[in-house]
Amino acid sequence: MTSESLKILYICSEATPFIKTGGLADVSNALPRALRALGHDVRIALPCYGTIPEELRGTQVATCRARLDSDTVFGALRETTIPDSDVPVYLVEHDIYFMRDHPYGRGNAEYSDNLERFCFFSLAALDGVPQTGWTPDVIHCNDWHTAAIPAYIKTHFLDHPAWKGKASVFTIHNMAYQGRYPSSLMPKTGLGWELFTPRYLEYYGDLNLMKAGIMFASKINTVSPTYAKEIQTPIAGCGLEGVLRSRTKDLSGISNGVDHDVWNPAKDPLIDAKYSIENIAGKKKCKRALQKRLGLPTIDAPLFGMVSRLVSDKGIDLLLSVLESFLAMDVQIVIQGTGDAALHKALEEYAANFPEKFSVNFVYDEKLAHQIYAGSDFYLMPSRNEPCGLSQLYSMAYGSIPVVHKTGGLADSVTDATSENLASGKATGFSFKDFKGEELLATIDRALAAYRDPAILQALQKTGMKTDWSWGASAKAYVDLFRKAMAAP
């Protein structure tokens, strides 16, 4: 590290390989490693969940505490590293709060004490990390689970030697999940009632932790430039668009990247054949292997893949509205994910009626996910809103052409295969603007026309595969944001 190096505490609710429920976990592994590669001293803090393997838990380095309501709650701080890296990781341990079989809840219901759990985690991390002898220049908070931290720094820890005057950055990965709870739970945050006002935590009579992050952080960002604009409007603001507009000068968008050590068909150990932009032959072998694994006929029909949470926000309801017409085409469709029970049931019925065309898998299996990216010709992503999206980036890296709704990060990352974009060599996929079934079907028709033209198909595959979505540029943008946060009043 040099005198120009920053010390950054990256605090989050999940990070691979410790715990993963979604794309945040991938970001929380890849971005700190990319920042470390730039010469910065970045360290991660996350809860020590019961599902984290014993060999990843490290050793206890401190006892930490948090004042919640009228109680002082004690926990332990453990230290380890991301495997095969030199990025330190602090794990906040508390058996009652975190020794559970899922980080957030069971089924579609969140744990009733989630507010208390994540406020304890945030306060305990702020108490415990300085005891190790290390303190950061800036603290990087992610989503509602850690959104109270900027408020804690400016209240509880205002005069703490480790935190006094320290900058904070709050990253919004998804506006839909805000940490909104009844006002009666305000004491469980450890924050005073003087902050339960329309300016700070109060939101239509409830308390809202995301609002706290927005109002107290030195700088705010989200995970794509387009989404940063959309969340300031009713389109994607989820009720907080006015709050975000009040801080528009401090709000920016930085796109996520792809960890090419993990998502790379040339060296991926989870797929059936390696391939690259120079020699793409292995992709056909991956398609055959995927068809065999899922019991689909090994034919040359265009195969559409999807790895997603099965919820309406991901456009599953839109897909269902046209699925019968879609399956009437000469196609195969493979879906993996979990989500709403009603959507599960509807998808199951189609899978039963079209067993040679449609495979739906209600699991999250990392190996199968990689095999779907590698074995698909096209990748479906008709999300209603998409803050950034990683799946379309993974699909392009694997030569699977994305078919997306033009929103948020999908608008920023997928260049539609118009005749002009094809002629200029910029096209990487297919997109539709209006969130309507007929628009999705028309876009699928365009994709199928490209499938029948090998030259266009290969051009789209290769343009997507050669596009650089590595974390380097994004990490540099975050460093600039951290420096701006440190310079902010």
Using the 8-state DSSP alphabet, how is residue 470 labeled? B
- Which pair of structure tokens corresponds to residue 392? 């379309």
Q: Tell me the average pLDDT across 247-254.
A: 98
**Cα dist. 276→256, 268, 373, 397 in Å?**
22, 11, 14, 9
Q: Check residue 449 and give its pLDDT.
A: 98
Q: Tell me the average pLDDT across 45-66.
A: 97
Residues 403, 422: Cα–Cα separation, whole Å: 15
Residues 9, 371: Cα–Cα separation, whole Å: 34
In the chain, the percentage of residues whose pLDDT exceeds 90 is: 95
On the CB side of 64, CA atoms within 13 Å amount to 29
Q: Check residue 364 and give its pLDDT.
A: 84
Among the listed residues 418, 439, 440, the one whose alpha carbon sits nearest the alpha carbon of residue 427: 418
- Which pair of structure tokens corresponds to residue 130? 């300085």
Q: For the chain, give the mean pLDDT.
A: 96
The residues, ordered by sequence, that sit 6+ positions from 72 with a Cβ below 8 Å of its Cβ are 65, 66
Q: Check residue 390 and give its pLDDT.
A: 93
Q: Is residue 273 part of a domain?
A: no
Q: Is residue 328 part of a domain?
A: yes
Q: Please give the residue range of the domain that contains residue 159.
A: 7-257+472-487
Q: Check residue 3 and give its pLDDT.
A: 59
8 Å CB contact between 377 and 334? no
Q: Tell me the average pLDDT across 322-346.
A: 97
Residue 329 above 70 pLDDT? yes
Q: Do residues 443 and 430 both lie within one domain? A: yes
pLDDT per residue as tens digits for the range 214-227? 999 999 999 999 99
Q: Do residues 92 and 57 both lie within one domain? A: yes
* Higher per-residue pLDDT: 1 or 25: 25
Helix (H) or strand (E) holding 64: strand 59-68
pLDDT band at 69 (very low <50, low <70, confident <90, very high): confident
Q: Do residues 252 and 236 both lie within one domain? A: yes
Among the listed residues 406, 352, 400, 399, the one whose alpha carbon sits nearest the alpha carbon of residue 384: 406
Among the listed residues 78, 82, 47, the one whose alpha carbon sits nearest the alpha carbon of residue 61: 78
Q: Tell me the average pLDDT across 375-404.
A: 97
Pairing of strands 59-68, 71-81: antiparallel
Residues 42, 8: Cα–Cα separation, whole Å: 5
Residues 489, 482: Cα–Cα separation, whole Å: 13
pLDDT band at 2 (very low <50, low <70, confident <90, very high): low
Q: Tell me the average pLDDT across 63-88.
A: 95
Q: Check residue 70 and give its pLDDT.
A: 84
Residues 210, 85: Cα–Cα separation, whole Å: 31
Residue 426 above 70 pLDDT? yes
pLDDT per residue as tens digits for the range 427-446? 999 999 999 999 999 999 99
Q: Tell me the average pLDDT across 123-147.
A: 98
Q: Do residues 138 and 244 both lie within one domain? A: yes
Q: Do residues 240 and 332 both lie within one domain? A: no
Q: Do residues 253 and 323 both lie within one domain? A: no
8 Å CB contact between 90 and 8? no
Among the listed residues 250, 143, 174, 142, the one whose alpha carbon sits nearest the alpha carbon of residue 407: 174
Q: Do residues 307 and 167 both lie within one domain? A: no
Q: Do residues 185 and 310 both lie within one domain? A: no
Quote the Cα angle for 410-174-178, to 5°: 160
Q: Is residue 174 part of a domain?
A: yes
Q: Tell me the average pLDDT across 324-349.
A: 97
Q: Is residue 38 part of a domain?
A: yes
8 Å CB contact between 136 and 9? yes
Residues 363, 417: Cα–Cα separation, whole Å: 32
SS3 395: helix
Q: Tell me the average pLDDT across 102-126.
A: 95
Among the listed residues 373, 382, 375, 427, the one whose alpha carbon sits nearest the alpha carbon of residue 403: 382
Q: Is residue 94 part of a domain?
A: yes
What is the signed CA dihedral for 365, 369, 375, 376, rounded to 10 degrees? 130
pLDDT per residue as tens digits for the range 155-205? 999 999 999 999 999 999 999 999 999 999 999 999 999 999 999 999 999
219: β partners: 169
Q: Check residue 489 and give its pLDDT.
A: 74
Q: Do residues 236 and 287 both lie within one domain? A: no
Residues 136, 120: Cα–Cα separation, whole Å: 20
Q: Is residue 315 part of a domain?
A: yes
- When mean pLDDT is compared across 117-121, 404-408, 450-454, 466-470, the lowest value belongs to 466-470
Residues 33, 29: Cα–Cα separation, whole Å: 7
In the chain, the percentage of residues whose pLDDT exceeds 70 is: 99
252: β partners: 221
Q: What is the CATH number of the domain that holds 24?
A: 3.40.50.2000
Q: Check residue 387 and give its pLDDT.
A: 94
pLDDT band at 107 (very low <50, low <70, confident <90, very high): confident
Q: Is residue 444 part of a domain?
A: yes
pLDDT band at 1 (very low <50, low <70, confident <90, very high): low
Distance of CA 299 to the CA centre of its chain: 34
Q: Is residue 264 part of a domain?
A: no
Using the 8-state DSSP alphabet, how is residue 411 labeled? H
Among the listed residues 366, 224, 347, the one whose alpha carbon sits nearest the alpha carbon of residue 307: 366
Helix (H) or strand (E) holding 97: helix 95-98
SS3 110: strand
Split into its structural domains, the chain has a count of 2
pTM score of the predicted model: 0.90
Total residue count of the chain as it appears in this document: 489
Query: Measured between alpha carbons, how far apart are the two ends of the chain, in Å?
Result: 27
Q: Do residues 74 and 119 both lie within one domain? A: yes
Residues 214, 194: Cα–Cα separation, whole Å: 17
Positive or negative torsion for Cα 49, 51, 53, 54: positive
SS3 73: strand
Among the listed residues 112, 109, 95, the one whose alpha carbon sits nearest the alpha carbon of residue 184: 112
Distance of CA 129 to the CA centre of its chain: 25
**Cα dist. 100→51, 93, 189 in Å?**
7, 12, 21
Which residue type, as a one-letter code, is found at position 122?
S
Among the listed residues 452, 414, 450, 397, the one whose alpha carbon sits nearest the alpha carbon of residue 280: 397
Residues 281, 23: Cα–Cα separation, whole Å: 29
Q: Do residues 464 and 482 both lie within one domain? A: no
Residues 154, 81: Cα–Cα separation, whole Å: 29
Residue 118 above 90 pLDDT? yes
The residues, ordered by sequence, that sit 6+ positions from 100 with a Cβ below 8 Å of its Cβ are 49, 50, 111
Q: Do residues 288 and 424 both lie within one domain? A: yes
